[in-house]
Amino acid sequence: MKKILVPIDFSKPSEYAAKMAAQIAKKTNATVYLIHLIELPKGVVDMGAGSRFSIPESMLYLRKVREKVLDFKEGIFSDAMDVKYFIKLNNPFEGIQKYADKIDADIIIMGSKGHSEFEEMIIGSNTEKVVRSSKRPVIVVKKDSKKFKLKNLVFASNFKEENKEVFGKFVDFANTFNSKVHLLKVNTPANFQGTSEAKQKVKEFTQDFDLKKYKINIYSDVSVEKGIQNFSREVNADLIALSTHGRSGLAHLFTGSVTKNLSKNALKPMLTIKV
């Protein structure tokens, strides 16, 4: 892992994401790229007749933003770390995708608020769009991990063939940090499979991968999202990993409603990788 992109808007969640990026960069010697995206009123960009903004006003505004970005950077990252920053005039969703491609980022780390439906709709939409469409792995962070580590990772899946490519990327991530991986299949009353049969399915799924430390877990609960949340708490997981697709929501593995509930309620960092 060489390049980490962190979108920042000076909010607490983006601060949490930057702190996680700092910890990962320390372990991997990666370069961190901070990007702040500005959606300016038309007059700031178009200085023609009738503009409500003058060029000096616009330059002053951008200079103030740059000062905030530098203060943000200095407050989280040490001088010894390789941290670069961009300030771009673009909407957040398009800008994040564009600059992830430009720098060829290995991973995007984003903060997310969205505890209520209203907040999810207003604030969480850009994070959701990036997760849904990004061809790069995305980590979504909702709270401050003061003692951030990646010792225990949960990979929740149905362990079907179409998820093998995603699993390969996840294995590379887990091995980078020498993590213990909890492979998790959740049994529900509506979709139940015997433990022995389920474990054999997971074994067959993983046999072609060089996963260093792992354990197979078949967990029963009333719903998939409850199972993932409860199991992750029991093993004190540092991160939950899911695969994604580009059509709806976060999870390729489960229905949109399951994933929406999980993404709202799970406070653990979530790693998503697109199928």
More confident residue, 94 or 215: 215
Instruction: Determine the average pLDDT of the residues in 224-239.
Output: 91
Instruction: Determine the average pLDDT of the residues in 128-147.
Output: 78
**Is residue 172 included in any domain, yes or no?**
yes
The torsion region of residue 159 among left (phi > 0), alpha (psi -120 to 50) and beta comes to left
**Is residue 239 included in any domain, yes or no?**
yes
User: Is 183 found in the same domain as 223?
Assistant: yes
The DSSP element (H or E) to which 184 belongs, if any, is strand 180-187
**What type of residue sits at position 196?**
S
Instruction: Determine the average pLDDT of the residues in 30-46.
Output: 74
User: Is 117 found in the same domain as 202?
Assistant: no
**Is residue 199 included in any domain, yes or no?**
yes
CATH at residue 189 = 3.40.50.620
What per-residue confidence (pLDDT) applies to 224? Answer: 85
Q: What span, in angstroms and rounded, lies between the C-alpha atoms of 155 and 174?
A: 10
User: Is 267 found in the same domain as 157?
Assistant: yes
Distances (CA, A) of 127 to 15, 22, 28, 119: 15, 20, 25, 12
Residue 82 pLDDT greater than 90, yes or no: yes
Summarize the chain as % helix, strand, coil (round to 5).
45, 25, 35
Q: Which domain holds residue 169?
A: 152-274
Q: Is 183 exposed, middle or buried (0-12, 13-18, 19+ CB in 10 A)?
A: buried
Domain count, the chain: 2
| Average pLDDT over the chain, rounded to an integer | 81
**What type of residue sits at position 184?**
L
**Residues whose CB is less than 8 angstroms from the CB of residue 211 and which lie 6 or more positions away in sequence, other chains included:** 171, 174, 175, 181
What per-residue confidence (pLDDT) applies to 250? Answer: 42
Q: Which of 109-113, 183-187, 248-252 has the highest mean pLDDT?
A: 183-187
- The alpha carbon of 139 is separated from its chain's Cα centroid by a whole number of angstroms, namely 2
Q: What span, in angstroms and rounded, lies between the C-alpha atoms of 13 and 30?
A: 21
For the whole model, what pTM was predicted? Answer: 0.82
Q: Is 155 exposed, middle or buried (0-12, 13-18, 19+ CB in 10 A)?
A: buried
| 98-115 confidence digits (pLDDT tens) | 999 999 999 999 988 654
